[in-house]
Amino acid sequence: MRFADIGQQLRAYRLESGLRAEEIAARLGVSRAALYRYEKGEVIKLDTIRRLAELLKISPLSLLGIGVDYFARPVAFLERLRQAEEEADQILLVGGAVCFQTLTDAFDGALAEAWAEAADAMPDRALARATADQALGLLASRRKLYQSRKPTIIGMLSEAALRRFLQDGVAAGLPLPERTRARCRAAAMNEAEHLAALMETVPIGIQLGLGAGPDPAAPFMVLRGRDRAHAVGSPFPPDAGPTGVVGVATITAADEAVAVHQRVAEAAWRDALKGADAAARVRSLVQEVRRWGAAA
């Protein structure tokens, strides 16, 4: 058993359970410090794994990293995704409006403002703020991880998703004051311009294309590392709120799952617009949405 992997799974599923660390430790009959040591990769007995699985309402195989991981809480999914990205040398992305690793500070600023405003409107403001801060911290960790590792990125984004992103702005669906919503739309426009520039210049290690037509049935990623690969399916875009969203994300290292996702990703990339053609299409979408906004 790789105890470091078990510890990572334990942390992600603890976040998914919604239980505090002290609650789990008390039910398990150990100290909170001991639980944190398990999460950091300390040797853990099989009986303890079984009892933890019962507490977290998952299969012991999930803690062992065998099978498929399921996450309904965006924060738990972000933690597990960060863990998988720690091993990734290549990221294949299919679907969605943006590639998280290439987003700018304008996106981060708009997202932080939108999540803070939404949290302040929640009944339990303190809990909502804490959850939003935790999610923002995980996004920042993923960004730092990308800057240090610099995995190769090949992304085929969705034209339909990009159009919605431009129309609604960052953090679509959250009830925000018009001033904040306007900033979120401006941030989305900024990201599209930045995306077009990346498509046109093709910097080392980043290749981004644009898929015309309807959205992929479900956006997904393939994360490839030296020792193993993961297939990741998620209904949560990078700007999805940390609370109040409905969906189930999955992560698996099963060879057959990785293989079929890789095959679909390669086919999508072959058919996508690339380079100057993709950049021109993105810029035309920006102009189209601007005209739509002026007429509205």
Residue range 68-295 in CATH 3.30.870.10: yes
Q: Domains of the chain: which residue ranges?
A: 1-66, 68-295
- Would you place residue 1 in the very low, low, confident or very high pLDDT band (cuts 50, 70, 90)? low
- Would you place residue 188 in the very low, low, confident or very high pLDDT band (cuts 50, 70, 90)? very high
Span 157-174, mean pLDDT? 94
- Please work out, in degrees rounded to the nearest 5, the angle formed at the alpha carbon of residue 22 by the alpha carbons of 21 and 28: 90
Q: What percent of the chain has pLDDT over 90?
A: 61
Closest among 136, 109, 278 to 209, alpha carbons compared: 278
- CB 189 within 8 Å of CB 241: no
Asked if pLDDT for residue 217 goes beyond 80, the answer is no
Span 93-120, mean pLDDT? 94
Instruction: Give the model's pLDDT for residue 277.
Output: 96
- Would you place residue 224 in the very low, low, confident or very high pLDDT band (cuts 50, 70, 90)? very high
- CB 6 within 8 Å of CB 45: no
pLDDT in tens, 236-293: 998 988 887 889 999 999 899 999 999 999 999 999 999 999 999 999 999 999 988 7
Span 27-35, mean pLDDT? 88
Please list, in sequence order, all residues whose beta carbon lies within 8 angstroms of the beta carbon of residue 168, skipping any fewer than 6 positions away: 184, 185, 188
3 state SS of 166: helix
Options 1.20.1600.10, 1.10.260.40, 3.30.1360.70, 3.30.460.80; which CATH number does 1-66 get? 1.10.260.40
Span 119-148, mean pLDDT? 92
Asked if pLDDT for residue 210 goes beyond 80, the answer is yes
Closest among 213, 285, 237 to 93, alpha carbons compared: 237
- Would you place residue 41 in the very low, low, confident or very high pLDDT band (cuts 50, 70, 90)? confident
Asked if pLDDT for residue 222 goes beyond 90, the answer is yes
- Would you place residue 156 in the very low, low, confident or very high pLDDT band (cuts 50, 70, 90)? very high
Asked if pLDDT for residue 296 goes beyond 70, the answer is no
Instruction: Give the model's pLDDT for residue 12.
Output: 87
Instruction: Give the model's pLDDT for residue 193.
Output: 96
Share the mean pLDDT of the chain. 91
Instruction: Give the model's pLDDT for residue 29.
Output: 86
- Would you place residue 153 in the very low, low, confident or very high pLDDT band (cuts 50, 70, 90)? very high
Q: Is the pTM of this model over 0.85?
A: no
